[in-house]
C-alpha cells in the first residue's frame, strides 16, 4: 500500500510536471517573420561567439553556489546566451531609433517620424516582452524543478532518447561545444586546427550582420509604409509616405558601428565634404574631371560645359560608402548663359532605392550662377519635396553640397552676382 501511494505520488508529480505551471512559457513574443529569422541569427551568433549577458552569468554562478540543482545552473548558462542576444538586438534597435528620430525632428519630417515611432514601439515592445519572459523563466527554474518537465513534453521521444552521457556533458558549455562542432564536424582529430573567422575578426562578422540588417529592415519598413497607406491608418498622405519610405528605408539599416562611431547627422549637415577635382569653371565653360570625392556625394563627375551647354554623367561615391551598387547616374543637360546663369535639369536614371537621396527617380531643376569670386553655385530644387540643395564650386577645386538653410545661404540666386556679364 505504501509503495502504491509512492508510485501514485510519483506518477502525479511526473504527469503534473508535463504541464507548464504559470503563464510564463506559453506565448512567444517574437511575432513577425523577419523578427523570428533575426532572432535565430542573433542567438546563433551569441552561442558561437560565446557572448553571454554578464549579469545573467553572475546570477547563474550564484545559483550554483546556492542549493539550486545543477541543472538550474546549466539552464541559466544557456539563458544567458539568449538574454544577451535579445539585449543586443534591442540595443541596435535603440541606436537606430535615436539617430533617426533626431534627424527627422531636426528636419521636420513628420511622416518619417510617424512611421519610425510605430515601428520602434512595436519592435521594442516585442523585445522587452521577450526579455521579461526570459528573466521570469530564469526565476522559475531557480525556484522549482517542475517546469523542467515541460521541456521533456515539448521535445518528445526523439530528443528524450537522444540524450546520453555525452549530451549531459555538452550542456555545460553550449558555446564551446557548438564551436567545436562547427570547426570540425564533431571531431578535432587529424591535427586540423581551424578558426572561426567571425570570431577572429569580429568587426567583419558585425559588418556582415549590419549589411544584412540594412537590407532586411529597409525592405520591411517599405512594406509597412505601404500597408499603412492601404489600410488608411496613417495620417500621412500617399505622396508623403512614398517619400518617407525612401528616407526611412535608406536610414534605418545603417550599420550600427558607423552610427556609434561617427554620431552621424543628416547628410546635408556636414560642411567638411570636399572634392579634389581639376575642374575649371569659366564663364561659359566648365571642363575637366572632378576626380574622386572624399565626402558623401559630389556631383558632377566628368561634366562638361561647352558652348553654353553642359552635359555629362555623374556617379555617386557615397553609394560605395553605403555599400550600395553604383547603378545610379545623374545626367545633366542645360545651358549656361553669357550672364553666367545656369539653367538646366539633372535626372537620376537609376531605379535603385533605399538610398538617402530624396531626388532619386525624379528630375532636379538646376539654377545657378557663376559668382565674381569664381564660385559656381547651383541651386537644386525639386517639386516632390522642399529639399533645396546647393552645389558650391570654389576656384574649380572644391565643392560642397549642402542644405541651403544649414549654410545660411539664400536660395535667391539674384543675390549672387554673375561673373560673366
Partner 1 sequence: MNYGSSQKGKTRLVGSGKTRFFSWGAALLLLAGGLLLSTGCLLQDVMGRAVPSDPVIPQNEPYQLSAEQTALVEEIGYPESFILLFYEEEAVDGSLQIVRLETWTYYSEGESYTFLNGDLEGSGSLDAGEIGSLAPLPYVPEQFAAKMTRDDVLVSAGVEDFIEVPLEDEYLEDGDLYYAEALSFGLVDGELRYLEALALEEE
Binding to partner 1 (CB under 8 A): which residues in 208-247? 208-209, 211-212, 214-216, 219-220, 223, 226-227, 230
- Regarding 106 and contact with partner 1 (CB under 8 A), the answer is no
CB of 233 to partner 1, least distance (A): 13
Site mask for partner 1 (CB under 8 A), range 177-206, x = bound = xx--xxxxxxx----xxxxxxx-xx-xx--
Q: Of the listed pieces 43-51, 93-101, 269-277, 369-377, which binds partner 1 according to CB under 8 A?
A: 43-51
Assigned C-alpha cell, 287: 571642363
- State the burial class of residue 403 (Cβ atoms within 10 Å of its Cβ: 0-12, 13-18, 19+): middle
Owner of C-alpha cell 530624396: 358
Maximum pairwise Cα distance, the chain: 116
- State the burial class of residue 213 (Cβ atoms within 10 Å of its Cβ: 0-12, 13-18, 19+): buried
- Regarding 320 and contact with partner 1 (CB under 8 A), the answer is yes
Residues 118-137 that bind partner 1 (CB under 8 A): 130, 133-134, 136-137
- Regarding 409 and contact with partner 1 (CB under 8 A), the answer is no
Can you tell me which of 147, 245, 356, 375 binds partner 1, judged by CB under 8 A? 147
Can you tell me which of 265, 292, 294, 323 binds partner 1, judged by CB under 8 A? 323
Task: Quote the CA–CA distance of 212 and 210 in Å, as a whole number.
Answer: 5
Residue 287, φ and ψ in degrees, nearest 5: -130, 165
C-beta of 54 vs 181, nearer to partner 1: 181
Task: Quote the CA–CA distance of 131 and 125 in Å, as a whole number.
Answer: 10
- Regarding 74 and contact with partner 1 (CB under 8 A), the answer is yes
CB of 265 to partner 1, least distance (A): 21
Q: Across the beta sheet with 363-370, what order do the strands follow?
A: 280-281, 286-287, 303-306, 309-314, 330-336, 341-348, 363-370, 376-381, 388-394, 398-403
C-beta of 27 vs 395, nearer to partner 1: 27
Owner of C-alpha cell 524543478: 145
Total residues interacting with partner 1, rule: CB under 8 A? 104
- Regarding 145 and contact with partner 1 (CB under 8 A), the answer is yes
Q: What is the DSSP string of 259-289?
A: HHHH----GGG-TT--B----EE-SS-EES-
Q: Of the listed pieces 49-57, 113-121, 160-168, 286-294, which binds partner 1 according to CB under 8 A?
A: 160-168
Contact present, 359 and 328 (Cβ < 8 Å) = no
- Establish whether the linkage from the previous residue to 364 is cis, with ω within 30° of 0: no
Owner of C-alpha cell 529592415: 217
- Regarding 86 and contact with partner 1 (CB under 8 A), the answer is yes
CB of 412 to partner 1, least distance (A): 39
Assigned C-alpha cell, 52: 553571454
CB of 326 to partner 1, least distance (A): 9
Can you tell me which of 21, 34, 282, 360 binds partner 1, judged by CB under 8 A? 34
Can you tell me which of 108, 164, 190, 408 binds partner 1, judged by CB under 8 A? 164
Residues 347-406 that bind partner 1 (CB under 8 A): 354
CB of 200 to partner 1, least distance (A): 6
Residues 276-315 that bind partner 1 (CB under 8 A): none
Contact present, 345 and 333 (Cβ < 8 Å) = yes
- Regarding 345 and contact with partner 1 (CB under 8 A), the answer is no
- Regarding 71 and contact with partner 1 (CB under 8 A), the answer is yes
Q: How many CA atoms lie within 13 A of 420 on its CB side?
A: 20
What is the gyration radius of the CA atoms in the chain, in angstroms? 30
- Regarding 5 and contact with partner 1 (CB under 8 A), the answer is no
Residues 14-33 that bind partner 1 (CB under 8 A): 14, 17, 24-30, 33
Q: Of the listed pieces 303-311, 318-326, 336-344, 377-385, which binds partner 1 according to CB under 8 A?
A: 318-326
Amino acid at each position: 500500500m505504501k509503495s502504491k501511494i509512492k508510485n501514485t505520488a510519483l506518477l502525479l508529480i511526473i504527469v503534473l510536471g508535463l504541464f507548464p505551471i504559470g503563464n510564463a512559457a506559453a506565448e512567444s513574443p517574437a511575432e513577425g517573420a523577419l523578427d523570428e529569422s533575426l532572432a535565430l541569427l542573433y542567438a546563433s551568433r551569441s552561442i558561437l561567439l560565446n557572448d553571454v549577458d554578464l549579469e545573467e552569468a553572475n546570477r547563474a554562478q550564484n545559483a550554483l553556489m546556492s542549493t539550486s540543482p545543477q541543472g538550474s545552473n546549466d539552464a541559466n548558462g544557456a539563458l544567458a546566451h539568449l538574454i544577451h542576444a535579445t539585449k543586443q538586438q534591442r540595443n541596435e534597435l535603440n541606436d537606430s531609433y535615436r539617430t533617426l528620430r533626431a534627424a527627422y525632428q531636426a528636419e521636420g519630417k513628420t511622416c518619417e517620424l510617424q512611421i519610425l515611432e510605430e515601428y520602434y514601439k512595436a519592435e521594442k515592445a516585442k523585445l522587452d516582452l521577450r526579455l521579461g519572459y526570459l528573466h521570469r523563466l530564469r526565476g522559475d527554474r531557480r525556484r522549482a524543478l517542475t517546469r523542467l518537465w515541460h521541456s521533456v513534453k515539448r521535445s518528445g521521444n526523439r530528443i528524450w532518447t537522444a540524450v546520453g552521457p555525452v549530451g549531459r556533458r555538452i550542456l555545460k558549455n553550449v558555446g564551446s561545444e557548438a564551436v567545436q562542432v562547427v570547426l570540425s564536424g564533431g571531431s578535432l582529430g587529424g591535427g586540423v586546427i581551424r578558426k572561426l573567422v567571425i570570431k577572429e575578426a569580429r568587426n567583419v562578422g558585425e559588418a556582415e550582420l549590419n549589411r544584412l540588417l540594412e537590407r532586411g529592415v529597409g525592405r520591411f519598413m517599405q512594406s509597412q509604409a505601404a500597408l499603412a497607406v492601404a489600410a488608411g491608418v496613417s495620417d500621412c498622405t500617399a505622396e508623403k509616405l512614398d517619400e518617407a519610405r525612401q528616407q526611412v528605408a535608406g536610414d534605418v539599416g545603417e550599420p550600427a558601428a558607423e552610427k556609434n562611431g561617427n554620431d552621424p547627422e543628416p547628410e546635408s549637415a556636414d560642411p567638411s565634404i570636399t572634392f579634389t577635382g581639376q575642374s575649371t569653371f569659366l564663364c561659359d565653360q566648365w571642363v575637366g574631371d572632378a576626380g574622386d570625392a572624399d565626402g558623401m556625394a559630389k556631383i558632377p563627375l566628368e561634366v562638361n560645359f561647352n558652348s553654353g551647354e553642359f552635359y555629362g554623367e555623374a556617379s555617386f561615391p557615397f553609394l560605395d560608402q553605403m555599400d550600395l551598387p553604383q547603378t545610379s547616374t545623374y545626367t545633366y543637360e542645360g545651358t549656361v548663359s553669357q550672364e553666367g546663369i545656369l539653367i538646366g535639369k539633372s535626372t537620376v536614371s537609376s531605379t535603385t532605392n533605399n538610398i538617402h537621396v530624396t531626388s532619386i527617380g525624379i528630375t532636379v531643376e538646376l539654377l545657378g550662377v557663376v559668382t565674381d569670386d569664381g564660385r559656381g553655385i547651383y541651386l537644386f530644387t525639386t517639386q516632390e519635396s522642399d529639399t533645396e540643395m546647393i552645389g558650391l564650386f570654389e576656384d574649380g577645386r572644391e565643392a560642397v553640397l549642402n542644405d541651403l538653410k544649414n549654410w545660411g545661404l539664400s536660395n535667391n540666386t539674384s543675390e549672387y552676382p554673375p561673373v560673366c556679364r
